[in-house]
Amino acid sequence: MKRLRVRCSRLLPLFVLLGAAAAAPASPSPPDTSATAAGPGFVLWAKLDDVVGPITAGYLTDAVKAADRRNADALVIEMDTPGGLDTAMRQIIKAILASDVPVCVYVAPNGARAASAGVYITYSAQVAAMAPGTNLGAATPVNLGGGMDSTMAHKVANDAEAYIRSLARLRGRNEAWAAEAVRKAVSLPSQDAVKEHVVDFIARDPRDLLQKMDGLTVKTASDSSFVIHTAGAEIRDYPMSFRYQALSILNNPNVAYMLLLLGFYGLFFELSSPGAIFPGVLGGIALILGLFALQSLSVNYAGLLLMALGVLLFFLETQVTSHGVLAIGGTVSLLVGSLLLINAPEPYLRVSLKVIIPAVGASAAFFIFAVAMALRAQRRKVVTGSEGLVGTLGVARTPLDPEGKIFVAGEHWTARSATGAPIPQGARVEVVSVDRLKVVVKPVGDS
């Protein structure tokens, strides 16, 4: 017991210290420096300077998600577009409306435009601005698959008008002008767009844009008021990834057309020379990429079949003697198919004539040249084999009475006189015909 008392007396100061530490108020923890509440934030900057299609829609959708994920102060979409596909446009607008970060559409640089689908995207953003010398408008929907009857055109126009009116009401912009942009395809320069309350202001450059955005109160997807603080904010570019850059090249109808031609001709040369391998591999890859590129375009399958028929006729020209008829048919089929391949009302969605005419002309010139060389080879005198001996001159090594030996084309042949008359030794003779391993000759000139 004595030893236990001694040990407890020794541990008593330790218990006192522990109790005092537990009873003492906790000291304040050091401030969290990971969150920089004070100081300027950053703005994510994306660019749309192409046709609105699946590639640009995926890129801008990723930009909106990145702005949300990184807690950016705002996302700015610098826009210069002639328009594009309705489905891609709606995908971009859905992403903007679902964003908790304010989105600003900035029609820039000077001379840029926001036409057709670009108008809808501009109306969907919380902030809309334009650079000097820019314009927007002409939002009338068009059918990329060809003509529409009056009933269908009326339905599409009503749907487009209702859609842009809803966006105008949501963002408090000019609803009447939006309806006219759809019904009458009207457009506005930047100064008039501000006066008509279509956009919020004109900004000379990115810094001027961020300065004028600063302090605006907008509503985000969570339906909460959000005060934008962008004065002095850092601008961080959000460039296209390599994947989107590569796919955006395929989004060009001229590139899709050339890939189709390369694919067709690669398979053509592989079928013409089986075992070459490289043309077949290259043609297969190009053909698949071309068909992938056509998925975002309005393809006329009659035009695609006519192009394939043209290449098939070119191939048959190399296999069948048609004296150029199949080559001419292939040229006409390829030209008509190229013109019909993409049926779109807007020039930027069609294959350019500057691409079609040189491509068809080069194809026709190549195959016409090949046919001409084939016909020339057919008319050329045979110079090999037994047929090549006919008309060749030789010398009689022995008298031909009526048979003997002659020397012709570097060889000794058994020969027979064509007339039956004797031919003396050393006389010059000409081969008239070949009878198995014996030649028939006639004398030529003097001995």
Catalytic residues: 116, 155
Among left, alpha and beta (phi > 0; psi -120 to 50; other), residue 366 is alpha
Question: Which residue from 369, 339, 379 is spatially nearest to 357, judged by alpha carbons?
Answer: 339
Q: Cα(98)–Cα(425) distance, rounded to whole angstroms?
A: 106
Neighbouring CB atoms inside 10 A of 194's CB total 17
- In SS3 terms, 203-222 reads as CCCHHHHHHHHCCCEEECCC
In order, the DSSP letters of 108-156 are -STT-EEETHHHHHHHHSSEEEE-TT-EEE------TTS---HHHHHHH
Measured CA to CA, the distance from residue 112 to residue 118 in angstroms comes to 11
Burial class of residue 358 (count of CB atoms within 10 Å of its CB; 0-12, 13-18, 19+)? exposed
**What's the Rg (C-alpha) of the chain?**
41
Separation of alpha carbons 328 and 305, rounded Å: 17
